[in-house]
Structure 1
Amino acid sequence: MSHKVVLYSRVSTADQTAAHQRTQAEAAGFEIDDVVVDEGVSGVSTRLADRPEGRRLFDMLRRGDTLVVRWVDRLGRDYQDVTDVIRQMMRRGVIVRTVINGLVFDGATKDPMQQAVRDALIGFMSATAQAQAEATREAQRAGIAHAKGRDDAYRGRKPSYTRAHLDTVRAQLAQGAGVSAIARDTGLSRQTVYRIQEDPAEAEAALARWSA
């Protein structure tokens, strides 16, 4: 029986598209057999198992299949969710792979050192996803509160980046990627990447002010 490679895409804003996430995955070398998309679903408030297509994902994946996600934050709303989902997939014999940085979480490995590295990575990546989600929530609250009752003159300059850009920049910065490499990957200017690096909370708030 042939094994499937399934891309799961959570699209929560107009700045993100499932087609773009598939293009990114294919550019990274993945041959995608099927795509499962949850549209208009918040990743910071809804567990994967509670999303309409997230539930279908659990039903369709079988032992030996590969689940591809852009980044581990697609899999849950916080540390516990992301950790639980990855471990549940591994117990079922499903390999979880990320487009960004090419991480692989495979429950089949028997080598103790590989298991230790894998489990440490799960914890670190999940904690990073939760920290980013909490920063996003706080910045969105601040940005929306600031924007209420104000006109465009008080919003500051409209961001030159989208939500998808910001997610990618922050994920790659967290993994130690250089500013020039991130700029080439995203098509943003180096100055924009530097601004996001220096004040990620303000970068989030700027997006929130202009979407409020």
Structure 2
Amino acid sequence: MTKTLLYARVSTNDQNLEHQLSQAEAAGFVIDEVVADHGVSGVSTKLSQRAEGKRLYDKLRDGDILVVRWVDRLGRNYQDVTEAIRHFMKQGVVIRTVINNLTFNGATKDPMQQAVRDALIAFMAATAEAQAEAIKEAQKAGIEAAKADGSKYRGKKPSFTRQQYNVVCQMSAKGEGPTAIVNATDPVMNSEMNGKNASKLTRQTVIRIRNDPKGAAQALERWGL
């Protein structure tokens, strides 16, 4: 018995599994099963390497229909997307998209139709990768602009207080090791530390401050600490 599966990839907070399902149903698809990956990048992770995506390779059979909102749900890398679509078509699986109502079917034998189909697959996959690159460049430009502003980009909030930073620098100057510094900056062990705003430092944090005291101080300044 053939079945229709919806594959959804939800990689950001702006995306929503329920929305992708409702879009497919509104387009007239009757979905038998939903397979979804959450928090997975379509750029760096192949479909076959995702926790749920790789299940499609075992679940889909000849005559089944694989529905995706658009080909970017399969991936945002040209090679990965084209390989995935061609693999499923060889298995007799029909791939359909909700957006633009595209159909990729390996059953067609007409050379002209095959050429048009393959050209469309290549175009859509290339578009998905181009969009990913554009988004990445826009994000990079936004971060650089915010950094230049100085008042908007603060980076990750420091896991240490100004008082702990001072102790790390002072003890490091005296040649004290990371373990001794961790103990000295532990609010539980040292009542002079501010227990409300401070937490125990890790060795990695102490070493990071020691290796780049200027950068650590700048992080505190950016956060007004």
Tell me what 2:161 maps to. none
Residues in 1 aligned to 2:47 and 2:151: alpha-carbon distance in whole angstroms? 36
Tell me what 1:121 maps to. 120
Shift of 1:59: 1.3
CA contact (8 A) 1:44 1:133 kept: yes
Shift of 1:92: 0.8
Tell me what 1:207 maps to. none
Please give the residue correspondences for 1:1-212 in structure 2 after superposition, counting only pairs within 5 Å.
Answer: 2-148=1-147, 149-151=150-152
Residues in 1 aligned to 2:84 and 2:123: alpha-carbon distance in whole angstroms? 15
Identity of paired residues, percent?
69
Residues in 1 aligned to 2:56 and 2:146: alpha-carbon distance in whole angstroms? 38
Q: Runs (4+) of structure 1 moved beyond 4 Å?
A: none
After TM superposition, the structure 1 stretch with the greater mean CA deviation from structure 2, 138-147 or 103-112, is: 138-147
| Aligned-partner SS, 1:52 | coil
Structure 1, unaligned stretches of length 5 or more? 153-212
Residues in 2 aligned to 1:24 and 1:31: alpha-carbon distance in whole angstroms? 11
Tell me what 2:169 maps to. none
Shift of 1:6: 0.4
CA contact (8 A) 1:82 1:126 kept: yes
After TM superposition, the structure 1 stretch with the greater mean CA deviation from structure 2, 21-30 or 132-141, is: 132-141
Higher helix share: 1
Shift of 1:144: 2.9
| Aligned-partner SS, 2:88 | helix
Shift of 1:42: 1.2
- Letter of the structure 1 residue corresponding to residue 141 of structure 2: A
CA contact (8 A) 1:11 1:18 kept: yes
Shift of 1:120: 1.1
Aligned length: 151
- Letter of the structure 2 residue corresponding to residue 102 of structure 1: N
| Aligned-partner SS, 1:93 | coil
- Letter of the structure 2 residue corresponding to residue 27 of structure 1: A
- Letter of the structure 2 residue corresponding to residue 57 of structure 1: L
- Letter of the structure 1 residue corresponding to residue 89 of structure 2: M
CA contact (8 A) 2:76 2:125 kept: no
Shift of 1:93: 0.8
| Aligned-partner SS, 1:9 | strand
Structure 2, unaligned stretches of length 5 or more? 154-225
Q: State the TM-score, normalized to the length of structure 1.
A: 0.68
RMSD value, Cα: 1.4
Residues in 1 aligned to 2:42 and 2:96: alpha-carbon distance in whole angstroms? 18
User: Comparing both chains, which one has the higher relative contact order based on Cα–Cα distances under 8 Å and sequence gaps of 6 or more?
Assistant: 1
Shift of 1:75: 1.1
Shift of 1:62: 0.8
- Letter of the structure 1 residue corresponding to residue 103 of structure 2: V
Tell me what 2:170 maps to. none
After TM superposition, the structure 1 stretch with the greater mean CA deviation from structure 2, 128-137 or 97-106, is: 128-137
Residues in 2 aligned to 1:147 and 1:46: alpha-carbon distance in whole angstroms? 29
After TM superposition, the structure 1 stretch with the greater mean CA deviation from structure 2, 101-110 or 139-148, is: 139-148
